[in-house]
Amino acid sequence: MDRANKPKTLPKLSSTPGLPPQPTVTFTDDNSRLRADLPTGESIEVLLYGATVISWKDATGDEKLWLSEAAKLDGSKAVRGGIPLVFPVFGTAPDHPQTKDLPQHGFARTSRWEFLGKSTSESMVGVKLDFGLSSATPGLDPKAAALWPFKFNLIYSVTLNPESLTTSIVATNDDAAAPFDCQVLMHTYLRVKDITAVEITGLASAPYTDKVGPSAPSTKTQPATPPTLTITGETDRVYTPTEDAVTVSEAGQPRFRVTRDNLANVVVWNPWADKAAAMADFKPDDGYKNMVCVEPGAVGGWQAVEGGDAFEGAQTIKLVG
């Protein structure tokens, strides 16, 4: 919910003489997005539509997330790129009574979230941004509210540190009489220089659902040897790894280490040439060469949330190498 006199730049939490410089948070003139900057140079941008992280830069200004050149940033469509948030359903679920009528990937990424504030401290080198969406939030997609009439409260936190980015969600059921099922996914688009040079480790021997091919969906197991996954064509897989972290390397050099907290699955996705060219909001057509989605989530089944209870999950993407 917008505040009439919301400042464009939030004040620092402390102005005590002698304290080191503090992170800053700045809004765009139309209050559609905000940017957080660390004194060390790192930054993120978050679109309030979907609470979508659309940029993450290191101290040198190097972008770590892929964003389509045709991504809609005006609230008319879910963003193609960055880190869209999937809730309460992954894909579509025509056989699940509670979510069968919801649009693909639910409504979290197509609702306007409320910015709840920032937090930091003298001992914290980064900044934490909190966003809220609930069944009572004015920005909730009205069609989705009618199709999923549960009382819920979501708190989504984005924490920027000099060498890492963490996104976490707490999904609370506010209705003691109506338990609900949900799925959660952080649809992270990592930027790479050359998809053919990418190797992903941490998935060896993991079972997965392959959503590409004539027999799709099919259940398979990632080979233990070699211990790396390479991308050589359209890829859409839902893994259930035993390891908590997945490492993305390029040309033999580790670049990202993605660690999951209470998220059992990892989706690996790249549309490759034909599918990328067929998607109107995926530009340039050869953009698939510069991205790979490594998406922590809880999507292999359903998370049952009883009244008064909550589901929590998080990912941390650490820059390595």
Q: Which residues are designated catalytic?
A: 187, 295
Counting Cα atoms < 13 Å in the Cβ hemisphere of 310 gives 12
Q: 3-state class of 110 per DSSP? A: helix
Please classify residue 216 by burial: count the beta carbons closer than 10 Å to its beta carbon, then call 0-12 exposed, 13-18 middle and 19+ buried: exposed
The DSSP string of 13-79 is S---TTPPP--EEEE-TTSSEEEEE-TTS-EEEEETBTTEEEEEE-TT--B-B-B-TT---SSSS--
Asked if residues 206 and 239 have their Cβ atoms less than 8 Å apart, the reply is yes
Question: Whose structure tokens read 């089944």?
Answer: 301
Q: 3-state class of 151 per DSSP? A: coil
- Preceding peptide of 296 cis, ω within 30°: no
Region of 18 on the Ramachandran plot (φ > 0 left; ψ -120 to 50 alpha; else beta): left
Alpha-carbon distance 299 to 86, whole Å?
Answer: 10
Asked if residues 81 and 67 have their Cβ atoms less than 8 Å apart, the reply is yes
First-to-last alpha carbon distance for the chain, in angstroms, is 41
